[in-house]
Amino acid sequence: MRYRELNFTSFLCLLLLMLVATSGALGQVASSAPLPVCEKSKCGYINRPGKVVIPLKFDGAGDFAEGLAPVMVDKQQILPNLRIGKWGYIDEAGNWAIKPTFDFADSFSEGLGNVWVEGKHGYIDRAGRMVIEPQFWGSNPFHEGVAWVIKDHENIVHAFIDKTGKVLFEVKGAWVGDFSEGQAQVRFEKEKKYGYVDKNGKVSILEGYSQTDPFHEGLACVWKADKVGFINSKHEVVIPFQFDSGGYFSEGLAPVEIGEKWGYIDRTGKVVIPPKYYKAESFINGYAAVANDDEKWGFIDKRGKLVIGYKFESAGSFIDGIARIESTGEISYLIGYINVKGKYIWKTDKPF
């Protein structure tokens, strides 16, 4: 479930994750772009063979997107495991493209970068011009031309804005997700109701549902009466509520839990890879990360064949032949990257 709530704990975690170069979603890095790495609290970038191409000289580093990556300098330690500094953006040659003047900066999405200035959130363009002035309590990158922002944190008032900063509509009393295939999740915490909102601001509550996930490939994983099924974009049940848990469809398959084991189904709901895994993630580029009963992760192909053995604490998706490996625990951090043979191209035992 991808709802976003801002509190002090999540704020600290977010900054720490950025410090150790995990700003993007696990495994979601720009194809062929340099990869962020950290060693002894300094961060830089490697290429796909694992060679350092941008020296480890930054205090924090995020993923490249649209040719730019957010990096932090001038760190100040405010807690034992938390450092803050000034954020800017570099190009793929390691040169400053946007000078470090922000309290925080996220990777670019759809031409705009999400930045924080004195506790307020706004957006800049690739030239570093502030196109949406910092004014929000919280914000997220743009998806499908819109982004959610928090206008009033205490009363839980979210708004969706366009790229000029114009408020398209507000959702009051609910936490929201990003738009995916024309719909965004909504969760009304007080009423314990779940559903979706479209780009016209129309909210559709799915009565009796206890969780809704984003749409992928025309279907969304949803929960009702402790069982999981899948609905289409019209919110019609197309795969009945019969599973114990589930994930999103990708490449025609979705992971589902059946009797405390995970397997995969196709778009008809037919089990095509038997449930035998302790955990399982969605397929990306022909591979899916799965865990055995010892909670070690490996990778399978779409036939269910184990192609990389169980030996990792965690495993991200393969993007352009590279997968991110992170530690487990309350706060995860980057350990390294592997190739499709399961070999590390980069690994560190001392990221801090």
pLDDT band at 7; cut points 50, 70, 90: very low
pTM: 0.88
Any idea what the CATH number is for the domain that residue 235 is in? Answer: 2.40.128.630
* Domain assignment of residue 85, yes or no: no
- Output the six-digit token pair for 165: 């900063």
pLDDT of residue 20: 41
Backbone angles phi, psi at 8, to 5 degrees: -65, -40
* Domain assignment of residue 96, yes or no: no
pLDDT band at 75; cut points 50, 70, 90: confident
Mean pLDDT of 44-56: 96
Place of tokens 């309290």: 103
Paired sense of beta strands 227-232 and 237-243, if any = antiparallel
* Domain assignment of residue 63, yes or no: no
Mean pLDDT of 182-188: 97
pLDDT band at 43; cut points 50, 70, 90: very high
Report how many domains make up the chain. Answer: 1
Q: What is the pLDDT of residues 214-268, one digit of tens each?
A: 999 999 999 999 999 999 999 999 999 999 999 999 999 999 999 999 999 999 9
Question: Of 121, 127, 118, which Cα lies nearest the Cα of 99?
Answer: 127
Task: Calculate what percentage of the chain has a pLDDT beyond 70.
Answer: 88
Question: Other CB atoms closer than 10 Å to residue 97's CB: what's the count?
Answer: 16
pLDDT band at 41; cut points 50, 70, 90: confident
Q: What is the pLDDT of residues 304-340, one digit of tens each?
A: 999 999 999 999 999 989 999 988 766 678 889 999 9
pLDDT of residue 81: 57
pLDDT of residue 25: 38
Lowest mean pLDDT among 88-102, 125-139, 336-350: 336-350
Q: Please, are residues 98 and 131 in contact by the beta-carbon 8 Å criterion?
A: no
Q: Please, are residues 319 and 304 in contact by the beta-carbon 8 Å criterion?
A: no
Q: Measured between alpha carbons, how far is 289 from 186 in angstroms, rounded to an integer?
A: 28
Q: Measured between alpha carbons, how far is 68 from 298 in angstroms, rounded to an integer?
A: 31
pLDDT of residue 31: 66
pLDDT band at 82; cut points 50, 70, 90: low
- SS3 sequence, the chain? CCCCCCCHHHHHHHHHHHHCCCCCCCCCCCCCCCEEEEECCEEEEECCCCCEEEEEEECEECCCECCEEEEEEEEEEEECCEEEEEEEEECCCCCEEEEEEECEECCCECCEEEEEECCEEEEECCCCCEEEEEEECEECCCECCEEEEEEECCCCEEEEECCCCCEEEEEECCEECCCECCEEEEEECCCCEEEEEECCCCEEECCCEEEEEEEECCEEEEEECCEEEEEECCCCEEEEEEECEECCCECCEEEEEECCEEEEECCCCCEEEEEEECEECCCECCEEEEECCCCCEEEECCCCCEEEEEEECCCCCEECCEEEEECCCCCCCEEEEEECCCCEEEECCCCC
* Domain assignment of residue 158, yes or no: no
Question: Of 21, 1, 9, 11, which Cα lies nearest the Cα of 316?
Answer: 21
Beta carbons within 8 Å of 297's beta carbon, 6+ residues apart: 279, 289, 290, 291, 310, 311, 312, 313, 314, 315
Q: What is the pLDDT of residues 110-144, one digit of tens each?
A: 999 999 999 999 999 999 999 999 999 999 999 99
Paired sense of beta strands 227-232 and 219-224, if any = antiparallel
pLDDT of residue 32: 85
Question: Of 267, 336, 257, 251, which Cα lies nearest the Cα of 301?
Answer: 251
Lowest mean pLDDT among 19-33, 38-52, 86-100, 137-151: 19-33
Range of the structural domain that residue 221 is part of: 210-319
pLDDT band at 79; cut points 50, 70, 90: low
* Domain assignment of residue 138, yes or no: no
pLDDT of residue 259: 95
* Domain assignment of residue 131, yes or no: no
Mean pLDDT of 58-70: 96
* Domain assignment of residue 214, yes or no: yes
* Domain assignment of residue 220, yes or no: yes
Q: Please, are residues 1 and 213 in contact by the beta-carbon 8 Å criterion?
A: yes
Lowest mean pLDDT among 97-106, 291-300, 315-324: 315-324
Task: Calculate what percentage of the chain has a pLDDT beyond 90.
Answer: 79
Q: Measured between alpha carbons, how far is 199 from 146 in angstroms, rounded to an integer?
A: 9
Lowest mean pLDDT among 6-20, 21-35, 314-328: 6-20
